[in-house]
């Protein structure tokens, strides 16, 4: 049975909460753990999703505008969301992906032309066996255009998590290649975690070079300042 099929079967059967072990019915989490998931503050920058005092564009995005135009995030990157993302990526618990995807469906911008799961480099994809962004995107059933062909990760960069924040932009520079004509299109890029935004910014740069009129980030979790 394929991995995606196993995830669907697992999600349909009564199971224990992935976090605390209590009975969770057919869901991934029990109601108590689901209620503890870390939400983002309501007042945040519409471009990068970091907290602001009045929900206007933050000073950083005003002084150095990124190539993307908006960011929609489901959770703050904190416990237990960080643990759920880690078990998806590093322990191949693919049943976590639909849980995230169903939540992101409510944040998907209306009228977007295509949904691009942030691609992995082929070596990383072979090593992991799946792209977590694509697995999450599969749950966005109401979007008919999941695009896995237009953008490639051309450079096998060092993992961003291993680098200092000020090194991350240089690390991913030129990492993405887009061959499609995106003239006038609104492209949504889906990823699991946004930390500095450097990877998503570089992907957006490649999309804008090919004519994309608007790029929106759709992420499971946003890292907030300490």
Same domain, 55 and 142: yes
pLDDT digits (tens, 9 = 90+) for 22-76: 998 878 999 999 999 999 999 999 999 999 999 999 999 999 999 999 999 999 9
Those residues whose C-beta lies under 8 Å from the C-beta of residue 17, and which sit 6 or more positions away, are 23, 24, 28, 29, 30, 33
pTM of the full structure: 0.88
Same domain, 191 and 104: yes
Quickly state the pLDDT bin for 15 (edges 50, 70, 90): confident
C-alpha dihedral (77, 161, 69, 107), degrees to nearest 10: -30
Number of domain units in the chain? 2
Q: Which letter does DSSP use for residue 160 in this model?
A: G
> Could you check whether the bond before residue 80 is cis, i.e. omega within 30 degrees of 0?
yes
Which residues make beta-bridge pairs with 116?
189
Token pair of 88 as six digits: 């998806």
Same domain, 65 and 81: yes
Same domain, 66 and 153: yes
Tell me how far CA of residue 39 lies from CA of 34, 81, 132, 152, in angstroms.
Answer: 11, 10, 21, 32
Same domain, 20 and 119: no
Same domain, 101 and 196: yes
Range of the domain at 73: 38-222
Check residues 12 and 167 and name the one with the higher pLDDT: 167
How far apart, in whole angstroms, are the C-alpha atoms of residue 84 and residue 97? 9
pLDDT reported for residue 2: 46
Lowest-confidence range among 97-111, 133-147, 202-216? 133-147
pLDDT reported for residue 158: 66
Same domain, 54 and 118: yes
């Amino acid at each position: 049975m394929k991995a995606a099929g196993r995830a669907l079967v697992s999600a349909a059967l009564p199971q224990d909460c992935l976090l605390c072990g209590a009975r969770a019915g057919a869901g991934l989490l029990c109601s108590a753990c689901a209620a503890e998931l870390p939400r983002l503050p309501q007042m945040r920058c519409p471009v990068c999703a970091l907290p602001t005092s009045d929900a206007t564009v933050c000073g950083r995005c005003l002084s150095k505008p990124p190539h993307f135009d908006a960011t929609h995030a489901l959770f703050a990157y904190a416990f237990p969301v960080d643990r759920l993302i880690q078990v998806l990526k590093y322990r191949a618990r693919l049943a976590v992906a639909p849980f995230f995807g169903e939540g992101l469906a409510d944040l998907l911008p209306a009228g977007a032309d295509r949904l691009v799961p942030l691609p992995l480099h082929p070596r990383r994809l072979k090593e992991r066996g799946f792209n977590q962004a694509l697995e999450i995107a599969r749950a966005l059933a109401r979007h008919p255009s999941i695009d896995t062909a237009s953008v490639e990760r051309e450079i096998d960069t060092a993992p961003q998590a291993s680098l200092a924040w000020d090194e991350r932009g240089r690390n991913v520079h030129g990492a993405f290649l887009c061959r499609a004509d995106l003239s006038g299109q609104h492209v949504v890029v889906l990823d699991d975690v946004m930390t500095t935004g450097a990877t998503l910014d570089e992907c957006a740069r490649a999309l804008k070079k090919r004519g994309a009129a608007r790029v929106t980030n759709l992420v499971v979790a946003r890292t907030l300042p300490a």
